[in-house]
Amino acid sequence: MTDHFDWDRLARYVSGESGATERADVERWAASSDANRAMLESLKRRWNLAGDGASWDVDAAWTRLAPQLRDIRPERPVVELRSRVAASRPSWLQPARYGLVAAAAVLLITVAVRMSNVETAAPTGDVMSLTSTEMRTGIGEQRTFGLDDGSQVVLGAASNLRLAEGFGATNREVFLEGQAFLRVRHDSTRPFVVNAGGTRAIDLGTAFEVRAYPNEGVRVAVTEGVVEVRRDTGMVVDSAVLRPGDVAEVSTTGETVVKRQVDVERLMGWTRGELVFQDATLSEVARDLERWFDVQVRIEDAALRTLHLTANLRISDSLDAILEVIETTLSSPGVRATRAGSVVTIRRGPPVSPTAAPSASRRVEAGA
């Protein structure tokens, strides 16, 4: 970030929606001047005053907020934002106050969208329209956007989603590399198809997740409705029908395993700002840390790669705090995790002190 205000990024930061990289950028921006620091603190206070209820009536929220905007007083130091419009305007929109008004308006919109009528396992964050045929997210970034057909997609970290030519007119096909949660607007005449890693997930009226990072196989998990998972090897077509609670895992060699009655809500933790590891190998944990925290993870002892970890961690926690949890949870086999800049090294070492128990807020459940 520069000294100019990027309202979208500031809104995501104060609402807890930022990824690790963006969060660090905002904090560096705030530390660069007293004006930036004062603005960020002001936004935090206004966000907290807005509350965090279970649902929001946008019109009612604006009715309550508008009188407060008229009473806003500039907080020192004040950064003047020049307006391109020379026409007269109400006194409460004079330049000295315009920054806080704009910030409050962006935060209001963020809250309204974040608390909209998306149901269980639905993502949070700004919902934007996809204005091109391709959408990318960087390391530590998560974005929510709507498609022209009324479907909604949450794209996870380091992911890419591309619309097929003619999407919305002649077809509803997308191509995914990475991770996405989709709430599809069902159309029996035009199925919604996600192509990922040689696998096709075909919507039959549903909400589902597809995870297909390079060299990791494909996972399809269904939260609502029905999805057909199909893999065409040229010689034979392998397909399975998934219903809520079902997960299909397609290995890099093409073998498909279907698991029934899975707690898929755990798998959707990333849409709620959590890294959820359920009996995950340390290698799998390392890959997710790299995607969400923009680091390189080295596991020095090959035997450590197959250790298993079960834990719920908040993406908003610092990387150092998360490494502490990993160390403590895997202290029995003697796992140590150290960081030097952007490199994390996991090795064997002396046991962690029993007094260094992880914070209860991180909800560590077990380790193996």
% of the chain beyond a pLDDT of 70: 67
- Note whether 142 and 250 are same-domain residues: yes
Q: Residue type at 251?
A: S
How far is the C-alpha of 181 from the C-alpha of 149, rounded, in Å?
Answer: 16
- Note whether 101 and 195 are same-domain residues: no
At 323, list the tokens: 């490494």
How far is the C-alpha of 195 from the C-alpha of 205, rounded, in Å?
Answer: 17
Alpha-carbon torsion 157, 163, 167, 170, what sign?
Answer: negative
Residue that wins the pLDDT comparison between 46 and 183? 183
- Note whether 49 and 71 are same-domain residues: yes
- Is residue 201 included in any domain, yes or no? yes
pLDDT on residue 181: 96
Tell me how many domains the chain contains: 3
- Note whether 145 and 254 are same-domain residues: yes
- Note whether 258 and 277 are same-domain residues: no
CATH number of the domain bearing residue 320: 3.55.50.30
**Full-model pTM:** 0.61
- Is residue 176 included in any domain, yes or no? yes
- Note whether 159 and 217 are same-domain residues: yes
Least confident of 223-237, 265-279, 323-337: 223-237
- Note whether 190 and 243 are same-domain residues: yes
pLDDT in tens, 63-94: 444 444 444 444 443 333 333 333 333 333 34
Q: How confident is the model at residue 121 (pLDDT cuts 50, 70, 90)?
A: very low
pLDDT in tens, 193-212: 999 999 999 988 789 999 99
Query: Average model confidence (pLDDT) for the chain?
Result: 75
- Note whether 250 and 287 are same-domain residues: no
Domain of 47? Answer: 7-114
Is 302's pLDDT higher than 70? yes
- Note whether 74 and 151 are same-domain residues: no
pLDDT on residue 169: 86
At 293, list the tokens: 């925290």
CATH number of the domain bearing residue 149: 2.60.120.1440
At 173, list the tokens: 């096909």
Given 86, 114, 142, the domain boundary residue is 114
Element (DSSP H or E) covering residue 250: strand 247-250
How far is the C-alpha of 288 from the C-alpha of 7, rounded, in Å?
Answer: 28
Is 327's pLDDT higher than 50? yes
Q: How confident is the model at residue 293 (pLDDT cuts 50, 70, 90)?
A: very high
Angle at which helices 20-31 and 7-14 pack, to 10 degrees?
Answer: 110
- Is residue 361 included in any domain, yes or no? yes
